Structure 1
Amino acid sequence: MRLAPLAVPLFAVFVAAVSLPAPAQQPRWAAEWPNTDFGTASVDLDEIRAGGPGRDGIPALDDPAFIPAAGETRIAAREPVITLEFEGVAPRAYPIRYLTWHEIVNDTVAGIPVAVTFCPLCNSAMTFDRRVDGRTLSFGVSGNLRHSDMVMYDRETESWWQQAVGEAIVGTMTGADLVELPGWMESFAAFRARNPDGLVMDEPDWRRPYGRNPYVGYDSLAQPFLYDGQMPPHGIEPLARMVRVGDRAWPLTRLADLGEITEAGVTISWAAGKASALDTADIGAGRDVGMIRVRDAAGADLPHDVMFAFAYHAFWPDGDWMLGN
Structure 2
Amino acid sequence: MHRVFQMFVALLLMIAPAHADPNFWKHEWPNTDFNKTSIKSWTEIQSGGPPRDGIPAIDTPKFLRASGANSLQPNEPVITVALLGGSERAYPIRYLIWHEIVNDTIGKVPIAVTFCPLCNSGVTFDRRTEHGVLTFGVSGKLRNSDMVMFDRETESWWQQAVGEAIVGKLTGTELKMLPSWMESWSQFRERNGSDGLVMKQPATSRNYGRNPYQGYDTSAKPFLYNGEMPPHDISPVARVVRVGNRAWPLTRVRDEGGVREAGVNISWEAGQASALDTSVISNGRDVGTIRVRDKQGRDMVHDVMFAFAFHAFWPRGKWMIRR
After TM superposition, give the deviation of residue 22 of structure 1 in Å. 4.7
Greater displacement, 298-307 / 66-75: 66-75
2:47 corresponding residue in structure 1: 50
- Is structure 2 residue 32 aligned with structure 1 residue 36? yes
- Runs of 4+ more than 4 Å apart: none
The answer as to whether partners of 2:85 and 2:106 remain within 8 angstroms in 1 is: no
1:86 corresponding residue in structure 2: 83
1:208 corresponding residue in structure 2: 206
The one-letter code of the counterpart of 1:31 is H
Determine helix, strand or coil for the equivalent of 1:267: strand
2:317 corresponding residue in structure 1: 319
After TM superposition, give the deviation of residue 145 of structure 1 in Å. 0.2
- Is structure 2 residue 12 aligned with structure 1 residue 15? no
**1:207, 1:88 → 2: CA distance?**
33
**1:107, 1:119 → 2: CA distance?**
17
1:4 corresponding residue in structure 2: none
1:270 corresponding residue in structure 2: 268
CA gap 1:81/1:221 in 2 versus in 1, 3 angstroms: same
Determine helix, strand or coil for the equivalent of 2:67: helix
The one-letter code of the counterpart of 2:19 is A
Give the alignment of 1:101-180 within 5 angstroms: 101-133=98-130, 135-180=132-177
1:3 corresponding residue in structure 2: none
2:251 corresponding residue in structure 1: 253
1:292 corresponding residue in structure 2: 290
Deviation readout 1:173-213 (Å, 9 max, x if unpaired): 00000000000000000000000121100000110000000
1:222 corresponding residue in structure 2: 220
Gaps of 5+ in 2: none
**1:123, 1:72 → 2: CA distance?**
28
The one-letter code of the counterpart of 1:170 is V
After TM superposition, give the deviation of residue 260 of structure 1 in Å. 1.4
The answer as to whether partners of 2:273 and 2:281 remain within 8 angstroms in 1 is: yes
After TM superposition, give the deviation of residue 87 of structure 1 in Å. 2.0
After TM superposition, give the deviation of residue 86 of structure 1 in Å. 1.4
**2:191, 2:295 → 1: CA distance?**
22
2:302 corresponding residue in structure 1: 304
The one-letter code of the counterpart of 2:95 is Y
**1:10, 1:177 → 2: CA distance?**
38
The answer as to whether partners of 1:130 and 1:138 remain within 8 angstroms in 2 is: yes
After TM superposition, give the deviation of residue 14 of structure 1 in Å. 2.3
**1:75, 1:17 → 2: CA distance?**
36
| Alpha-carbon RMSD | 1.1
After TM superposition, give the deviation of residue 12 of structure 1 in Å. 2.4
After TM superposition, give the deviation of residue 23 of structure 1 in Å. 4.1
Percent of residue pairs identical: 62
Determine helix, strand or coil for the equivalent of 2:26: helix
After TM superposition, give the deviation of residue 33 of structure 1 in Å. 0.3
The answer as to whether partners of 2:20 and 2:45 remain within 8 angstroms in 1 is: no
The one-letter code of the counterpart of 2:135 is S
Greater displacement, 101-110 / 22-31: 22-31
After TM superposition, give the deviation of residue 110 of structure 1 in Å. 1.9
Gaps of 5+ in 1: 1-6
Give the alignment of 1:63-102 within 5 angstroms: 63-102=60-99
**1:18, 1:211 → 2: CA distance?**
27
**2:122, 2:114 → 1: CA distance?**
6
**1:284, 1:53 → 2: CA distance?**
26
The one-letter code of the counterpart of 2:138 is V
- Is structure 2 residue 189 aligned with structure 1 residue 192? yes
